[in-house]
Amino acid sequence: ADKLREGQTVNLAITPTVTDKEGDSDLDPNALRADQGGAAVNGTIDIAIHGSNEAPVLTHSSNLSITEHGKINSTDVTPDGSVAHPYTVVSDTLTSSDFDSDAKPTYGLVLNPEYETVNGAATLTGGTVVTDQTLYAVDDHGTTKLVDAQHYTAYSPNSCYGELKMDSNRTYTFTLHDDAKIVQALDDSGTNTSALIKFTVVVQDSHGAYDYKELSVTINGSNDAPTLVTSAPGSVKESGVYFSDG
């Protein structure tokens, strides 16, 4: 029954019978009393089963983790001089299931998700679903948030951790802004070793039913090599023998 689509109907006809201990059935006209008309009674029951939409269910989604560039070791560099492990992009792909054959699911990220407590649990009740649109993970006075391109203009590039995007193939990708000061400020020890960016993914069918999950990107810090800062050029004079006129 769960496979019936919205608006689909299946009709069933059931004919119940009763047989006594002598083996006489209500369908046998010879066993019926005269007051029953001497004919079997039509006891068919008609049942109509109407289909309804079933919500899709996310079957695979995962948190992401990425590490900022720190000091590049010689083992990280390939023979052609490129970095073997840049650690700047990480991604995964959503999967879902649906009993309805006409589900036609779409996937996206939820911009500005709204949650309400329902039966003691946080439940997604609002937000804007976006697909093939870049969102920016920014630091807003100590709070990490996702903004669209229009609102990103209000922030400095040095306050942006990176970009998050869901494409039409269900793949969500985080691209690290490794050169941003807020990323380079992360370390591999101390109190500022990582940053956590939360985001919500959603699958929605053609009838508006949906499933969602809150995920996160963890940006891990690493040790950065010191940078030599030179001062103004100076001059020296070798030692030698000096004569005095006195």
What pLDDT tens digit does each residue of the chain (246 aa) get? Answer: 456 565 666 666 777 676 766 666 666 655 555 555 545 555 677 776 665 567 789 999 999 999 987 554 555 555 565 554 445 889 999 999 887 666 678 999 999 999 999 888 889 999 999 999 999 999 999 999 999 999 999 999 999 999 999 999 999 999 999 889 999 899 888 888 899 999 999 998 887 788 999 999 999 988 765 655 665 666 666 666 655 565
Q: How far is CA 158 from CA 4, 106, 169, in A?
A: 53, 34, 31
Strands (DSSP E) contained in the chain are 9-14, 45-50, 57-60, 64-67, 89-93, 95-97, 106-118, 121-130, 135-140, 143-147, 160-166, 171-176, 194-204, 210-220
Q: How many residues are present in the chain?
A: 246
